[in-house]
Structure 1
Amino acid sequence: MSSTRKWAKSICSIAFLIYFAIIIFQVPIFSVPCRMGICKTPLEVTSSQLIASDVFPPFIVKVLLYPGALAKALYNNRIIPNFKNLLKLYEFNSRQTTRTSDLHRLEVLAGSYLSVGGAIVGLIKPGKMGLFGIVLVIWGLMRESIMLQSGLDHEKAAQIHPAMWLALVSAFLSIRKDVRKIIRTFRGNQTLKHKHV
């Protein structure tokens, strides 16, 4: 029993670190039109909405964005971005979007908020918020893709990147109760096989 808990704890911790890195360091997991042109991460979608609605001070949005901006600069061998000019770097107001287009992608918007919230709250206690967020984003992007194929939507198609599936799996495996159930089921099947042999 204790070994099951240890395995579950290890798997959950690693999975959450992967999920946290994908969200906070802004690994591109999708492409969707937004206020900055094309948003590729839940943090970009969330930040563009927070800036547009003036819900949080720009300082908080900068704090959220800076780790990803720093990681991108180091990865692309560019100059480290200045914290003061960070919002100019992202150009959140370069594309005017209407409330109708925001409502059109409501699942992506809500899912992005939950994904970012799940990564931040998960530092204290990982839960299902991140998983619900990723599932909601996937649902919204797939729905938009179906609408585009059926001719109901004429805007640029949203895309799901391969890293999305890694985010989904890591978000699922960061839920300790579910991982414990999987380990118990796997061990139960192994015990039955040994009994039959």
Structure 2
Amino acid sequence: MASSRKWARIISLIASWINFLLIIFQIPLFRIPCRSGICRTPIQVTCSQLIASELFPTIVVKALLYPGAIANALFKNKTIPSYNNLLELYNMTNMKAALATSDLHRIELLAGSYLSVTGAILGLIKPRRLSLFGTLLILWGLVREAIMRKSADRYLMEAIYIYPTMLIAVVFAFLSIRKDVRKIVRSYKDKRHANHSCSHLKAKQV
């Protein structure tokens, strides 16, 4: 039987890859108004901010967006978009004119998106807690936004939505942390061993 260390390594590796694919292929996790219109993934939130702030070259932003653009085109049976027209496709060509005040109100969502994207990429090298922290921060930001805007703006409330895939993202972000998974596997094995010993002892007494 494989050791708890080996099981933890296997589960963590699989979870890290699934988490990476969820992020890089831009599987919709939520829906919220952002600088580019409506954002549904951490990468869209991150890239819209990177373009507006000019923190990274455009080529980096396009590299993050392109896998998801290809996956979306294949899923909808459409033509694969041109790499050069990615910013137009995501409505990110006039980001400087967009208001930055909304970013200050949604700092949790912005920071969580940064952490989720960074954690998903670095997790392929060495699983870290960045993805889990980022995903939970996004979730908290969405809930906070919904509570704050509940009575203030009905249209905004209708625009905010959390997809069921967010739960999947949280689960796999957690399972990508090898130390925590190892504790769970070890606890399960200890409990199973205790139950087996108890059953064996009862069988002897009979």
* 1:59 alignment counterpart: 59
- Structure 1 residue identity aligned to 2:70: L
How many residues are paired up?
196
Choose 1 or 2 for highest CA Rg. 2
Can you list the C-alpha shifts for 1:10-30, whole angstroms capped at 9, x where unaligned? Answer: 111111111001100000000
Q: Which runs of 5+ in 2 are unaligned?
A: 200-206
* 1:176 alignment counterpart: 178
* 2:132 alignment counterpart: 131
Task: Work out the percentage of aligned pairs sharing the same amino acid.
Answer: 55
Separation in 1, partners of 2:141, 2:98: 18
* 2:162 alignment counterpart: 160
Q: Give yes or no for contact 2:34–2:45 (8 Å, CA) kept in 1.
A: yes
* 2:5 alignment counterpart: 5
* 1:113 alignment counterpart: 114
Relative to structure 1, is the Cα distance of residues 103 and 154 closer, same or farther in structure 2, using a 3 angstrom cutoff? farther
- Comparing 4-13 with 166-175, greater Cα deviation is found at 4-13
Shift of 1:154: 5.5
- Structure 2 residue identity aligned to 1:188: D
Shift of 1:155: 5.7
Q: Give yes or no for contact 1:147–1:153 (8 Å, CA) kept in 2.
A: no
SS, match of residue 62 in structure 2: helix
- Structure 2 residue identity aligned to 1:19: N
Separation in 1, partners of 2:53, 2:94: 15
Q: Give yes or no for contact 1:28–1:41 (8 Å, CA) kept in 2.
A: yes
Q: Give yes or no for contact 2:87–2:93 (8 Å, CA) kept in 1.
A: no
Separation in 2, partners of 1:52, 1:8: 40
Q: TM-score, normalised to structure 2's length?
A: 0.90
Q: Give yes or no for contact 2:17–2:124 (8 Å, CA) kept in 1.
A: no
Q: TM-score, normalised to structure 1's length?
A: 0.94
Q: Does 1:76 align with 2:88?
A: no
SS, match of residue 123 in structure 1: coil
Q: Give yes or no for contact 2:129–2:177 (8 Å, CA) kept in 1.
A: yes
Separation in 2, partners of 1:74, 1:144: 33
- Structure 2 residue identity aligned to 1:196: C
